[in-house]
Amino acid sequence: MKQLFFFLLTVFLFNNVNAQTPKSYSSADILQQMKKLQVFGSVLYIAAHPDDENTRLLAYLANEKKYRTGYLSLTRGDGGQNLIGNEQGIDLGLIRTQELLAARRVDGAEQFFSRAYDFGYSKNPEEAMRIWGHDKILADVVWVIRKFRPDVIITRFPTTGEGGHGHHTASAILAGEAFDAAADTTKFPEQFKEGVTTWKAKRLLWNTFNFGTTNTTRDDQFKIDCGVYNPILGKSYGEIAAESRSQHKSQGFGVPAQRGAAYEYFATIKGDKPVNDLMDGVDVTSGRIGFKNNSTKNEYDSTVKKILQQYDASEPALSVSPLRQLAMILSTNTYSSTEAGIKLADIQKLITACRGLFIEAVAEKQLNAIGDSMKITVNIANRSKTGDIIDINIATYNFGKYEIKAGEFRSIPLTIKLDDQRSLSQPYWLNYPLAGGAFRVDQQDNIGRPELSNMNALFHVEMAFGVGSILQPVQYKYTDPVKGEIYQPVQIINPVFVNTSAPLLLFSNNKKNELKDFSYTLQSNVDINGAATFSNNFGRKQTIIFDSVVNYKKGDKQVVNITLNGDSFPNNSITFLGGDFATKQLKEHQYFSLHKISYDHIPDIFYNYYDQAKIVKLDLKTSGSRAGYIAGAGDKIPEALQQMGYTVTILAEKDLNPSYLKQFDVIVTGVRAYNIHSWLNNGYAALMEYVNEGGVLFVQYNTNNSIGPVKAKIAPYPFNISRNRITDETAKVDFLLPDHPALNFPNKITQSDFDNWIQERSTYHAEAADKHYQKILSMKDPGEAAQDGSLIITDYGKGRFVYSGLVFFRELPAGVPGAYRLFANLIANKR
C-alpha cells in the first residue's frame, strides 16, 4: 500500500502566509534552497524599529551561511515620521510592518514583532520600558526565542546608550535579559503550556557600528566580511541589502548598492566569544535533527549530497524523487523536533518548485461581506510529466478532489458562504483599542507574528509518491492596464458601514448658536430588507434617528444629515459623536467603518474602526480667513485650518508669484516641505516679497541631514536646523517673552494650553539663529538643559516669518485645544 506522508508548512513554525504576488522559483533559486538542506544553524537579530536591522548581515546569514535567520523588531514603528503620506501612529505602524515584510522577502530572513507600541522618540530606556511594560515585552522576547530557538542572538545596539534612541537601548537590555530568561524554567512558565520549552542560545553578540561620528568597532572584535558575491543569486550581499533597505520608503531609506568587501564587527555580551566562526561550538549539521540512529543521519547527508551533485538546472523535476526520499527519511526516522519540521516544510516547497506546480485561490472581489457569498477561483497549472489529484480546502469548506493531468491548466470556480460566525478581517494586534504602551493580544501563539492571513486555502496534493500539503492565502487578483497583474489581500467586511462626515469638529465658546452640518453615511454591503434602527450616540446619550423598514440593495448608500449647534456642548469640552445601526435580519454586529491604506510598494492595508467625530468646544479666536498651504511629506493641517474657519487653497509651484499670493492672510508649509520640493528655491523671492508686503509665512519643521537635506532657502534671515527635540509631552513650557503677540493675540496663552499634548512637544529645533529672530518658548526633557529653538519668529517688512518645531502636525488632528489656540496666534494676521 502506498505510504502517504505530509509536509505541513505550519509545523513548529511562525507561519506567515502573506498576500503578495506568488513567488516563482528559477533553477538558481531552487539550487540555493537545496543547499540550505545541509545547514541547521539559526540566528535571531533584535532591535527596536523597522529599519534598525542590518540588512547586509541578515542577507549574508540567510543566503551565504544559509542559517535560518530572523529579525525581531520590538515595535512596528508607529511613532516615526512619514515621508510618503500623512499617516501617523497605528496607520504608520501598519505601513512599516508591510515594508519590513517586503524587506524580508528580499533578504530571505523571517520577521517578528513584540506587542510594544512605538510611542515616539525616547531619550532613555527606563522611559521606554516603563511605558511598554517591562515584564510584558520581556515575556514577548522570551517567547520568540523559545519558539524560534536561535543558536546565536545579535543585538543592533548596546546597553550603554551609544544607539541614541531610548528604544534602541531598551531593545539591547531586554535581549540580554531574555537570553537568560528563555533558559530559566521559572521565567514565564505559562508559555510552556503553548508547546515551547526552555532554550539556551550559545552566545549573545552586539553588532557594533560606525555611524557618523560614533565608531564602536574595534580591531580586537570578531569580524565577518559580509560583502561577498553569491554567484547563484547573481548579487553581492551589499546589493541585496540595498534592495532590502530601500523597502523602507516611508522613512526615506532608499540607498545605493554596495559592492566589495564590507566587514561587520561583533562584541560578545554573553556566552563564549566566537574565534573562527559565528557558530563556534554549535552543531550546524544534521546531527541535531534527532535521528533515531547514526546510520539514518548518514543516509540523510548522503541523500542531500546526491541531490546537489545530480541537480539539473534545465530539468529540476529530476530532483523530485530524491527529495521525496529525503522527506521519507525525516518523517519516519526522526524523533519529533523543530529542526525536522522545518526541513520537511522546506522540502515540500522544493518539490512543488521542482515540479513547476502553480496553484492559487483568487477571489472575484477584494471586499467580501459577512452574510454574503464569496466567489473564488482555484487556478492550477500542472507543468510536470505526471498527473496530480488535489484536494481543495478553503476556510471551513472541503470541495473534494480534482484530477489534474500532466501539462493541464484548469480553473475551478467555487463559492463559499460567509456566515455570521466568521470573524472580520483585522490586524490581530488591533482587535482591542490601544491602552498604554503595548497592544493587547490574547492568543499567545499570535505574539511575534507579523500578521495573519485573512483567509487560507489548503491543498493536499496526491502525487505519484505521496501527499504534500500546500497552504496559501486566498487573494484578490486583477489586471491593471499599466501595472499588469496585481495581487491584493482579500478582506472580510461588515454587512454595513457607518461613516461620519468629519473626524473633528471645532466649536467656539465665543459664538452663540453656531451651527455646523454633520452627516452619517450608511453603506449596505448585503441586501437588507426589514426593520432597522439607526441611533446617534452623543457622548453618553443615545437618540434614535430612524426606526423603520428599510430596503437596501448591496452597495446602496444612505446619507443621514443632522445639524449640530455649538450651544449643545459645554464650554471647554470634548465630546464624541458616533452612530449605531441595528437590524434583526443580521446577527448583532458593531458596524464599524473600514479604513484603507494604499501604496504601490506594499499590499493594500485595511482595518475596522468605530468611526466617530471628536467635537471640541474651546475658547478660540482667529485673525484671518484665507490660508495658502504648500504640501510637504504629509500632514492634516489643511483640515485643521478649515475647522478653524479658514478657506484653504493648496499651492503649487506655479502659484508662487507675488500677485497671486497677496490674497492670503497666511501661508503654511507642510512638514518637510523644504526637504522634498527643490522648486521652493525658485519661489523663495516670491514668498519673501509676500511676507514683506504683510503676509505671514508659517514653516513647520524640516530636517537637515543625509536623509532629509534642505533643498531650498527658507527664511529671510539665516538659522540652522538641529536634531534637538523635546520628547516629554508633559514638559513644562516657560514663556521667554510673555508679552509677545504670539502668546497674547488673539488668544491669551497660559500654561494650561500645553495640557494634554500627545507623544512629544517639538522636534528639529532652530539653532544658531540670526539676531533678528525672537525665541518665544523654552522647555526641557528630564535631566537635560533647557532648549529655546522650538519656536522662532521675526518681523520682515510688514509681515512675519515663523519657524516652528512644535508638533502641530500631531496635536491639531488629535484635537488638542491649547495647540489650536497657540497655532491661531502664530498664523494670525491683523491686516
CB 722 within 8 Å of CB 775: no
The H-assigned helical ranges of 555-657 are 637-643
What is the C-alpha to C-alpha distance for residues 818 and 574, in angstroms, rounded to an integer? 13
Q: Which residues on neighbouring strands pair with residue 28, listed in sequence order?
A: none
What is the C-alpha to C-alpha distance for residues 175 and 565, in angstroms, rounded to an integer? 55
Query: What average pLDDT does the chain have?
Result: 93
The CA–CA distances, whole Å, from 481 to 211, 226, 478, 486 equal 44, 41, 10, 10
What is the C-alpha to C-alpha distance for residues 167 and 46, in angstroms, rounded to an integer? 12
Kind and range of the H or E element at 171? helix 166-181
Q: Cell numbers of 559, please?
A: 446619507
CB 815 within 8 Å of CB 709: no
Backbone angles phi, psi at 797, to 5 degrees: 60, -130
Q: Give burial (CB, 10 Å; 0-12/13-18/19+) of 264.
A: buried
Q: Cell numbers of 209, please?
A: 557600528
Residue 9 confidence (pLDDT): 36
In this prediction, residue 674 has a pLDDT band, given cuts at 50, 70 and 90, of very high
Residue 52 CA to its chain's centroid (Å): 13
Residue 584 confidence (pLDDT): 81
Most confident option among 331-340, 512-521, 709-718 = 512-521
Q: Which residues on neighbouring strands pair with residue 493, listed in sequence order?
A: 369
Question: Could you report the per-residue pLDDT of 440-495, keeping only the tens digit for each?
Answer: 999 999 999 999 999 999 999 987 656 788 999 999 999 999 999 999 999 999 99
What is the C-alpha to C-alpha distance for residues 143 and 188, in angstroms, rounded to an integer? 9
Contacts of 44 (CB under 8 A, 6+ apart): 69, 70, 71, 72, 144, 145, 148, 150, 152, 153, 154, 201
Q: Is the pLDDT of residue 3 over 60?
A: no
In this prediction, residue 707 has a pLDDT band, given cuts at 50, 70 and 90, of low
Question: Could you report the per-residue pLDDT of 576-609, keeping only the tens digit for each?
Answer: 999 999 888 776 556 689 999 999 999 999 999 9
Question: Could you report the per-residue pLDDT of 5-55, keeping only the tens digit for each?
Answer: 343 433 333 444 455 677 789 999 999 999 999 999 999 999 999 999 999
Residue 423 confidence (pLDDT): 83
What is the C-alpha to C-alpha distance for residues 521 and 580, in angstroms, rounded to an integer? 11
- pLDDT more than 90, % of the chain: 85
Question: Could you report the per-residue pLDDT of 281-319, keeping only the tens digit for each?
Answer: 999 999 888 888 888 999 999 999 999 999 999 999 999
Secondary structure of residue 169 in the 3-state scheme: helix
Nearest CA to 425 among 489, 371, 496? 489
Kind and range of the H or E element at 491? strand 491-493
Which residue type does 809 have? F
Query: pLDDT higher for 335 or 232?
Result: 232
CB 258 within 8 Å of CB 311: no
| Averaged pLDDT, 797-815 | 97
Q: Is the pLDDT of residue 713 over 70?
A: yes
Strands (E), 197-342: 203-208, 210-211, 214-215, 222-225, 229-230, 235-236, 263-271
Residue 6 confidence (pLDDT): 40
Residue 336 confidence (pLDDT): 65
Q: Is the pLDDT of residue 392 over 50?
A: yes
In this prediction, residue 385 has a pLDDT band, given cuts at 50, 70 and 90, of confident
Crossing angle for the helix pair 320-333 and 294-310, to the nearest 10 degrees: 160
Give the sign of the dihedral formed by CA 317, CA 321, CA 324, CA 325.
negative
Question: Could you report the per-residue pLDDT of 129-188, keeping only the tens digit for each?
Answer: 999 999 999 999 999 999 999 999 999 999 999 988 999 999 999 999 999 999 999 999
Residue 588 confidence (pLDDT): 59
Secondary structure of residue 29 in the 3-state scheme: helix
Residue 633 confidence (pLDDT): 87
* pTM of the full structure: 0.91
Residue 411 φ/ψ region, left for φ over 0, alpha for ψ in the -120 to 50 degree band, beta for the rest: beta
Backbone angles phi, psi at 59, to 5 degrees: -60, -40
Range of lowest pLDDT (33-42, 119-128, 634-643, 704-713): 704-713
Residue 102 confidence (pLDDT): 96
